[in-house]
Amino acid sequence: MPKINAERLLSDLRRFAQFGAYRTGVHRPTFSQEDMDSRHWLAQQYDAVGLQAHIDGVGNVFGMPRTERRSLLIGSHAESQNYAGWLDGALGVIYGLEIARTFAGTQDRAGLPIALVAWADEEGHYVPMLGSRSYVGDIDEAEIDRAVNVDHGLPLRDALRAAGLAGVPRSLAEPGRHIGYLEAHIEQGDVLEASRKRIGVVTSIVGIWQYSIVFHGLQNHAGTTRMAIRRDAGLAAAKLATTIADCFPKAAGPRTVWTTGRITLEPGAPNIIPGKAEMLFQFRDSETLVLERLDALLRTLVEEVAIKIGCRAEIERTETGKPWHMDPAFQQAIENAAARQTPGAHMRMPSGASHDAQVVARKIRAAMLFVPSIGGISHYWTENTDDADLILGCQVLADAAEMILRGESR
Amino acid sequence: MPKINAERLLSDLRRFAQFGAYRTGVHRPTFSQEDMDSRHWLAQQYDAVGLQAHIDGVGNVFGMPRTERRSLLIGSHAESQNYAGWLDGALGVIYGLEIARTFAGTQDRAGLPIALVAWADEEGHYVPMLGSRSYVGDIDEAEIDRAVNVDHGLPLRDALRAAGLAGVPRSLAEPGRHIGYLEAHIEQGDVLEASRKRIGVVTSIVGIWQYSIVFHGLQNHAGTTRMAIRRDAGLAAAKLATTIADCFPKAAGPRTVWTTGRITLEPGAPNIIPGKAEMLFQFRDSETLVLERLDALLRTLVEEVAIKIGCRAEIERTETGKPWHMDPAFQQAIENAAARQTPGAHMRMPSGASHDAQVVARKIRAAMLFVPSIGGISHYWTENTDDADLILGCQVLADAAEMILRGESR
């Protein structure tokens, strides 16, 4: 098995974190100067390792092998959330680079067809998963025309022009071009840490079902309206959130998660009974059956609460994410590699977060490897992972890649 | 007893509603052109009825009798909430005018010393109860210097200058100047309507105790953070609101009201567990003992919820309004007048809303009369009251005023 260069890996990760350095993390939003600088740096590294580098029309950086043979694509996304962690997507991008270098540096592996990618805008500063969706042919020009930055409203077209990408074609995955896709990522949760494991073999990426729930009550004076006749939309929203907390555990799967991220009361004045309340609610699970069961339960609870508080309820599902199962043979390759490198310290687990791998998996066999997040912290500048785990994760992914390329995983 | 002129009363109410007319209501914010036009119109009417009219340095319109004798002050506020009802404060202002005209028009009552007032900014476009607080000496220049419009931020000083009031002195109630103060108002609730009564004799104006309650939890990823380790500040806020709904009825008085007017979750994104939640909460009662009991209960509930959800809680009381009891002899005068005009169709009741009368009552004996609000609607342009109730209310107030002035209420 190929031995990766641990010093070079850590040094590259640290070098990459200088693009948009913020405290111990990074602030590298998609198509910012720092992000584009990091992408051009990556293209140089891809070239230097003997790959054919290019940046496509939505900012994806590719390093393609100079061969017609089907290649194994390795990578993740290069940009960060605002003022967030240094690893997140960068980890998987630099792992790919290190694996390519390792393979290129040993005679008998130099010919193994590795392709590298750094996707653009998985984090959704403009469009979540923009780069991977573009590569699998799941985005059209009209959607790109419409997209604007969620923070400052700059149209995506203007951002692409400023990044020098206007008129550059978008690369598309031709059928049969890739053997598969491997992505490493920090776990972003504390399951590995709490389980005292060092490698997560991702079994599936959860589906996210998201809802806008609106209660319409009766706006009125908070001083002169008797309690008995109130139809308080805010109370209905609060009641729904607590009823969900009471009832979901019985219907949920062992790893289901659910979150009320926003509650907005109108008009929102201290002396007015809210006439309208809106809740943003979501749940995630890797089993469609569980998602469907929770959807039905949610609709029942919304109706019950509305009747109880005397409000009219509207519920709209705004997102119906399909759970994606990772390729079984690739999972096995990662597990076998982990078992060799760190016996007993690996586990299979679903991913509660979204990743480019779930988009790529629609067209290409795909799998993911997780390394632990210290304290489960993610999307925050204090995010971190032990150096020893960073090194181990890359070694396991390299071993798995070789197994897959040599056909040992079939 | 003096017979008011019902046609003149309704005509004046309708004339006054033309200042800032909006659908069937009015939009007449304090110191707007429409508001100042209405105040100059009032000053003309006060003059025409033989009173000495002036507008003071905060926009209060006074009509003072041309005599040294102690007078009975009658009035309410002239401005409206934004896009709100035509009666609200205007009702009590026009009632005063009609009573002064009625008295002036009959030989034996022309000498009864009535003073009229139209207060400025009870509704708090700049400072709630600005005019009445100024008259009883409860506001200083520094507070006026600091005040800005809640909607558009214009400094109060600039608004006063634009209204032609810069440098105009503020009138102060000299001790002994007034026998007392009477204010009529629409009920703004549905107690009279639900009780099939036509006149409310206000016993007290409730105290409002208002709170900012903040829960600090742990902000985290909504997909990767297991339910078991969450410390969801938003859930804590929802739990508190529903626990209050469960527990307050047992501790509250028969007319206590409580309201959660605003819930704000941070960061408020659908895919992030809220790390912070703020609630604006208030309750109102006319008994200090009840207010104190609810304060203690609230603090216990906040603590229990915080422990249960694993959050840290902060609770700050931002308003500690004292309940004000209306003058017993004046209440009796209004009740006697009501009993004569509409036997059995009157009731004593606290006011759940704030009024200038609670400010005036700090220095001057004060009482209030309510007329029914159709459907309990208030602070909305559809607010209304039956013509027959409008006429009856004015007649009862006129009778009560005469009783008080003739010393029959002592």
**Could you read off the pLDDT of A284-340 as tens digits, one per residue?**
999 999 999 999 999 999 999 999 999 999 999 999 998 999 999 999 999 999 999
* Residue B68, beta-bridge partner list: none
Q: Within 13 Å of residue A68, how many CA atoms lie on the same side as its CB?
A: 0
Query: Do B59 and B172 sit in the same domain of this protein?
Result: yes
Query: Do A139 and A98 sit in the same domain of this protein?
Result: yes
User: B63: which 2 tokens?
Assistant: 């009509």
User: A30: which 2 tokens?
Assistant: 């998609």
Contact B154, B143 (CB under 8 A): no
The answer to whether A272 contacts B379, with C-beta atoms less than 8 Å apart, is yes
Give me the residues of A, 366-385, that contact B with CB < 8 A. 373, 376-380
Distance from C-alpha of B387 to C-alpha of B394, rounded to nearest angstrom? 11
Query: Do A329 and A302 sit in the same domain of this protein?
Result: no
pLDDT, one tens digit per residue, over A236-259 is 999 999 999 999 999 999 999 999
Distance from C-alpha of A163 to C-alpha of A150, rounded to nearest angstrom? 18
Distance from C-alpha of B281 to C-alpha of A208, rounded to nearest angstrom? 33
Query: Do B23 and B153 sit in the same domain of this protein?
Result: yes
pLDDT, one tens digit per residue, over B126-176 is 999 999 999 999 999 999 999 999 989 999 999 999 999 999 999 999 999
Of A80, A81, A103, A104, nearest to A93 by C-alpha is A80
Of A97, A172, A174, A99, nearest to A140 by C-alpha is A172
User: H/E element holding A302?
Assistant: helix A288-309
In a domain, B348, yes or no: yes
| Residues of chain B contacting A241 with CB distance shorter than 8 Å | 234-235, 238-239
- Cα first-last separation, chain A: 18
Contact B394, B102 (CB under 8 A): no
Nearest CB to B353 within list A219, A223, A234: A223
Query: Do B38 and B112 sit in the same domain of this protein?
Result: yes
Q: Which of A202, A221, A273 to mutate to test the interface with B (most CBs of B within 10 A)?
A: A221
> A211 is in which domain, residue-wise?
207-320
In a domain, B410, yes or no: no
User: H/E element holding B164?
Assistant: none
| Residues of chain A contacting B261 with CB distance shorter than 8 Å | 222, 234, 265, 268-274
The answer to whether A261 contacts B191, with C-beta atoms less than 8 Å apart, is no
The answer to whether B242 contacts A237, with C-beta atoms less than 8 Å apart, is no
Nearest CB to B187 within list A224, A229, A376: A224
Of B11, B73, B60, B103, nearest to B361 by C-alpha is B73
Tell me which of B298, B320, B342 is where a domain ends.
Answer: B320
pLDDT, one tens digit per residue, over A117-132 is 999 999 999 999 999 9
Distance from C-alpha of B115 to C-alpha of A280, rounded to nearest angstrom? 55
CATH of the domain at A239: 3.30.70.360
A265: helix, strand or coil: strand
The answer to whether A224 contacts B260, with C-beta atoms less than 8 Å apart, is no
Residues in Cβ contact with B23 at an 8 Å cutoff, skipping those fewer than 6 apart = B381
In a domain, A1, yes or no: no
Phi-psi sector, B376: left (phi>0), alpha (psi -120 to 50), beta: left
Nearest CB to A238 within list B210, B242, B282: B242
Q: Between these two residues, A108 and A102, which has the higher pLDDT value? A: A102
> Which amino acid, residue A48?
A
pLDDT, one tens digit per residue, over A380-393 is 899 999 999 999 99
The answer to whether A261 contacts B282, with C-beta atoms less than 8 Å apart, is no
Helix axes B33-48, B6-16, angle to 10 degrees: 150
pLDDT at A242: 98
The answer to whether A229 contacts B376, with C-beta atoms less than 8 Å apart, is yes
Q: Which of A225, A286, A301, A355 to mutate to test the interface with B (most CBs of B within 10 A)?
A: A225
pLDDT at B379: 86
Distance from C-alpha of B148 to C-alpha of A229, rounded to nearest angstrom? 35
CATH of the domain at B347: 3.40.630.10
Nearest CB to B210 within list A249, A270, A281: A270
Distance from C-alpha of A180 to C-alpha of A397, rounded to nearest angstrom? 13
pLDDT at A94: 98
Distance from C-alpha of B276 to C-alpha of B313, rounded to nearest angstrom? 10
User: Span B211-230, mean pLDDT?
Assistant: 94
pLDDT at residue A410 greater than cutoff 50: no
Residue B155 is given by DSSP the state: B
* Residue A169, beta-bridge partner list: none
In a domain, A281, yes or no: yes
Of A179, A157, A177, nearest to A166 by C-alpha is A157
* Structural domain count, chain A: 2
pLDDT at residue A63 greater than cutoff 90: yes
In a domain, A410, yes or no: no
The count of other CB atoms within 10 Å of the CB of residue A196 is 10
Quote the distance between the C-alpha of residue B125 and its chain's center.
Answer: 13
The count of other CB atoms within 10 Å of the CB of residue B179 is 21
pLDDT, one tens digit per residue, over B318-377 is 999 989 999 999 999 999 999 999 999 999 999 999 999 999 999 999 999 999 999 998
Residues in Cβ contact with B352 at an 8 Å cutoff, skipping those fewer than 6 apart = A221, A223, A224, A225, B188, B189, B206, B255, B257, B284
Residue whose token pair is 């490897």: A369
| Residues of chain B contacting A238 with CB distance shorter than 8 Å | 237-239, 241-242, 260, 263
Q: Within 13 Å of residue A10, how many CA atoms lie on the same side as its CB?
A: 11
Give yes or no for A81 touching B (CB within 8 A).
no
Quote the distance between the C-alpha of residue A308 and its chain's center.
Answer: 39
pLDDT at residue B1 greater than cutoff 80: no
Query: Do A241 and A366 sit in the same domain of this protein?
Result: no
Residue B68 pLDDT class (50, 70, 90 cuts)? confident
Nearest CB to B234 within list A257, A263, A353: A263
Contact A335, A348 (CB under 8 A): yes
Residue whose token pair is 């599902």: A317
Give yes or no for B358 touching A (CB within 8 A).
no
Of A279, A190, A232, A313, nearest to B274 by C-alpha is A279
| Residues of chain A contacting B284 with CB distance shorter than 8 Å | 222-223
pLDDT at residue B237 greater than cutoff 80: yes
pLDDT at A408: 63
Tell me which of A305, A320, A335 is where a domain ends.
Answer: A320
Give yes or no for A269 touching B (CB within 8 A).
yes
Of B308, B280, B138, B267, nearest to B212 by C-alpha is B280
Mean pLDDT for all residues in chain B: 96
Residue of A nearest to B210 (CA): A270
pLDDT at residue B92 greater than cutoff 70: yes
User: B21: which 2 tokens?
Assistant: 């007319």
Distance from C-alpha of A248 to C-alpha of A257, rounded to nearest angstrom? 9
Of B318, B351, B312, B320, nearest to B92 by C-alpha is B351
The answer to whether A190 contacts B232, with C-beta atoms less than 8 Å apart, is no
In a domain, B51, yes or no: yes
User: B70: which 2 tokens?
Assistant: 């102690």
Quote the distance between the C-alpha of residue A399 and its chain's center.
Answer: 24
Of A338, A312, A35, nearest to A163 by C-alpha is A35
Residue B48 pLDDT class (50, 70, 90 cuts)? very high
Query: Do B195 and B280 sit in the same domain of this protein?
Result: no
The count of other CB atoms within 10 Å of the CB of residue A246 is 9
pLDDT, one tens digit per residue, over A163-215 is 999 999 999 999 999 999 999 999 999 999 999 999 999 999 999 999 999 99
User: A75: which 2 tokens?
Assistant: 């990578």
DSSP E strands, B144-275: 178-186, 199-205, 207-216, 220-221, 257-266, 272-273
Nearest CB to A263 within list B189, B208, B263: B263
Q: Between these two residues, B405 and A67, which has the higher pLDDT value? A: B405
Phi-psi sector, B83: left (phi>0), alpha (psi -120 to 50), beta: left
Distance from CA of A67 to the nearest CA of B (A): 39
- Whole-number Cα distances in Å, A209 to A239, A291, A316, A321, B357: 21, 7, 11, 6, 54
DSSP E strands, A321-377: 324-325, 346-351, 366-371
| Residues of chain B contacting A350 with CB distance shorter than 8 Å | none
User: What burial letters (b/e) apply to B223-253, b meaning 16+ CB within 10 Å?
Assistant: bbbbeeebbbbbbbbbbbbbbbbebbeeebb
Query: Do A232 and A307 sit in the same domain of this protein?
Result: yes
**pTM (predicted TM-score):** 0.85
Coarse DSSP helix, strand, coil percentages of chain B, rounded to the nearest 5 percent:
35, 25, 40
Of A125, A93, A155, nearest to A27 by C-alpha is A125
Length in residues, chain B: 410
Query: Do B135 and B237 sit in the same domain of this protein?
Result: no
User: Span B275-298, mean pLDDT?
Assistant: 97
Query: Do A315 and A359 sit in the same domain of this protein?
Result: no
Give yes or no for B150 touching A (CB within 8 A).
no
Residue A111 pLDDT class (50, 70, 90 cuts)? confident
In a domain, B392, yes or no: yes
pLDDT at residue A379 greater than cutoff 90: no
Q: What angle do CA A136, A139, A145 make, to 5 degrees?
A: 150
Give yes or no for A352 touching B (CB within 8 A).
yes
In a domain, B1, yes or no: no
Residues in Cβ contact with B63 at an 8 Å cutoff, skipping those fewer than 6 apart = B42, B43, B46, B47, B49, B51, B52, B53, B100, B115, B116, B117
Query: Do A173 and A265 sit in the same domain of this protein?
Result: no
Distance from C-alpha of B397 to C-alpha of B388, rounded to nearest angstrom? 14
Tell me which of B320, B342, B365 is where a domain ends.
Answer: B320
Query: Do A201 and A344 sit in the same domain of this protein?
Result: yes
User: H/E element holding A316?
Assistant: strand A312-320
> For the residues of B12-79, what is the DSSP string, one character each?
HHHHHTTTTEETTEE---TTSHHHHHHHHHHHHHHHHTT-EEEE-TTS-EEEE-SSSS-EEEEEEE--
